[in-house]
Structure 1
């Protein structure tokens, strides 16, 4: 792990930026994940549908699922490493998210390198650091340095389907290892909150694509993440199945669905195969932990959801109920301005300069402006 932090205690906030390589059949996405904290729990409220909702119980149930396939807890340990000279890529394409990340608004700083302390936590987060944040980046398991081959992620997904022992998609609870994805982000929060140079009340989380899903579920699971910005990651998994809009998401990790199709004796992948795979590799993802329930559980912490209006992996129709439920939840806390959903017109599954600008301003608004900084 590696990161940049101020030599002196940061008076503003901690903005952790976690990085992983999201593999699909066409490209590699660099995901940037950032974090936040506020120890609040959403009490029971009523959705517009009339359904009662208890965020605390839902969160407890989710954490129980995370622990269900673990043999034992592994003590938190931090090991500093050397910078990566030749990072392992799981596709021949080059990371396409960097162009947008490079457009992230930076503060004018001529001596940024002198004002930063290198702790060798692999990162490309100078843009955030230049804006007064402490930034941290981690490799996700089966990605980057934590991958042993270019097919590590797909192999892990297939193994999860075959054995039911791990959950490498979003959740990930690998037996006898320190984990990544949601579990690793919870452990990272443990680490950050014990650092003297970090303001525990202001830790933010954001991510792109798979990283956006990580940010979403990490904030749902851990209330220490106080400001949340998932980018092109939030979607309705069950809605996509029910409305025959699952194809693009399935295509992004298709090998596991192809194996499941064969195992189930099907001639082609259909909605039944999709539902069974999700239930097997990520229990509850297409039911009780889906976006209509886990997204409002983030309230009242500031949440900005950024999607492309034409994104086939995160169909806009699948966000109508989660958005409605979230607005109701934030309304219950009298914090309607703490929630915002933007679907950029004409944009498919891609990070854009507009999204980076909106994310940057959202963090500054709740990390700086509210403190008169």
Structure 2
């Protein structure tokens, strides 16, 4: 494992092979789509109350009186593989170009569990107002890729039963690699060397793993999404993460003949639905592999889903790696005191400042 950790290119290639092994590839194809008027939200409460968006609405925004009139909205579908989930819905906001402008940086913004691309619209508008091309997608089994309020949980259970998909994190990372293909090969308005990625919770995990898998994501700022999966198992701190997608663990408990969910159940589920998540693709190996690209990890100090102690080794290794690249200032972890699993205005501002600084 240490040898793999010292060779991020090898680890990245192994991860890419894992992603390729679960799908039939197709040529990248772009189709126009229509705006979504009634977004799909899963879980409870549904839809989420507007108060849940307050942190996103605090994102720095240019002071433009007629901003909404100047925003250009694009809705497209990107075909990423030959499967029912191979149609990737994308929402893009940018400022109307009234005259020649240089190519612009882009920021990909990823939603949390049970939400959708429309949920992050406050962030899309804020970044677009400041000159970014702001991009959001529906992750696997979410938004337009869901047909019921239980689509995502059913997909997780199906993955446990059949082992043919990876709906927790990894399949969406494949989509994000294909999104990078689109942004770099089909968009003349984007500076291909200036693409950032961020997300909240599940979206933060997607941002982390997409940046590990694809170096075209040049600046990275996952919010409440980075944890040590192996550390959580070994230190009995897995409960909060398990509770966030409990149905698949309950199904596994029954199948394994257990009376309660325990660490063995947790490990077997991770190995089945996201192979390597709690071993060679865990944070101690994939976080340092993002170096030397700028990486800001924004967590809550009291987040039970992302226990801070579980990041000691990943952060230590990342600090050493960035130092070796002579870019120590390109990496930071901010753990906001007194905050659990919650996105805050301070996190939103830190991510915004990070992109303004490095993109």
- TM-score scaled by structure 1? 0.81
Within-5 A mapping of 1:158-197: 158-172=157-171, 181-194=172-185, 195-197=187-189
- Which residue of the partner structure matches residue 33 of structure 2? 81
C-alpha distance in 2 between matches for 1:87 and 1:52: 41
Match of 1:288 among 280, 283, 303: 280
Per-residue CA distance 1:258-284 (angstroms, 9 max, x = gap): 110111111111000100000000000
Once residues 343 and 69 of structure 2 are traced to their aligned partners in structure 1, the CA distance between those partners, rounded to angstroms, is 30
Counterpart of 1:110 in structure 2 is 65
Establish whether residue 68 from structure 1 lines up as the match of residue 60 from structure 2: no
Point out where structure 1 has 5 or more consecutive residues left out of the alignment: 1-45, 173-180, 368-373
Say yes or no: does 1:263 pair with 2:255: yes
Indicate if the aligned counterparts of 1:97 and 1:350 stay in contact, CA closer than 8 A.
no
- Does structure 2 conserve the Cα–Cα contact (< 8 Å) formed by 1:245 and 1:315? yes
Cα deviation code 1:290-326 (max 9, x no counterpart): 0000000000000000000000000011010000000
Report the structure, 1 or 2, having the larger helix content. 2
Deviation at 1:97, TM superposition (A): 4.2
1:1-373 counterparts in 2 under 5 A?
A: 53-70=6-23, 72-93=24-45, 94=48, 97-120=52-75, 121-122=90-91, 123=118, 124=121, 125-172=124-171, 181-194=172-185, 195-367=187-359
* 1:29-60 deviation per Cα after TM superposition (whole angstroms, max 9, x unaligned): xxxxxxxxxxxxxxxxx98xx99611100101
2:222 counterpart SS class: strand
Q: Shift in Å at residue 91 of structure 1? A: 2.5
- Between the aligned partners of 1:58 and 1:184, the Cα distance in structure 2 is 19
- Tell me the distance in 2 between the aligned counterparts of 1:248 and 1:236: 13
Deviation, 1:163, is 0.6
Task: Pick closer, same or farther for the CA change 1:353–1:116 going to 2, 3 Å.
Answer: same
Q: Tell me how far apart the structure 1 counterparts of residues 246 and 261 of structure 2 sit (CA, whole Å).
A: 10
Q: Secondary structure at the match of 2:192?
A: coil
Deviation at 1:109, TM superposition (A): 1.6
The Cα shift of 1:136 comes to: 1.2
Mapped to 2, the partners of 1:185 and 1:160 lie a distance apart of: 20
Q: Secondary structure at the match of 2:29?
A: coil
Consecutive unaligned residues of structure 2, counting only runs of 5 or more, are 76-89, 92-117
Task: Give the distance between the partners of 1:263 and 1:310, measured in 2 at CA.
Answer: 33
CA distance in 2, matches of 1:284, 1:91: 27
When the two structures are aligned, how many residues end up with a matched partner?
311
Higher relative contact order (CA 8 A, sep 6+): 1
User: Partner of 1:200: helix, strand, or coil?
Assistant: strand
For 1:365 and 1:105, how far apart are their aligned partners in 2? Answer: 14
Q: Is the 8 A contact 1:97 1:351 kept in 2?
A: no
Q: Residues of 2 paired with 1:191 and 1:109: CA distance?
A: 30
Instruction: Say if 1:193 and 1:52 are closer, same or farther in 2 by CA, change over 3 A.
Output: closer
